[in-house]
Homo-oligomer: A and B are copies of this chain.
Amino acid sequence: MKFADIVAGRRFQLGPVRVEEEEVIDFARRYDDQWFHTDPEAAERGPFQGLIASGWHTCALAMRLVSREILQGSESFASPGLSHVRWPHPVRPGDELTLEVVVHESRTSASRPTLGVVRWQWLMRNGHGTLVLDLEATSMFRLAAA
Interface residues of A (CB under 8 A from B): 27, 30-34, 36, 46-48, 52, 54-56, 59-61, 63-64, 67-68, 71-72, 76-88, 90, 142
Contact = CB atoms under 8 A, between A and B. Distances in A.
A64 B32 contact: yes
B80 A31 contact: no
B64 A33 contact: yes
Contact of A77 (B27, B47, B63, B85): B47
A11 B60 CA distance: 28
Contacts of A67: 31-34
Given A31-B60, A56-B63, 6 more contacts: A33-B68, A48-B78, A52-B78, A55-B79, A55-B81, A60-B60
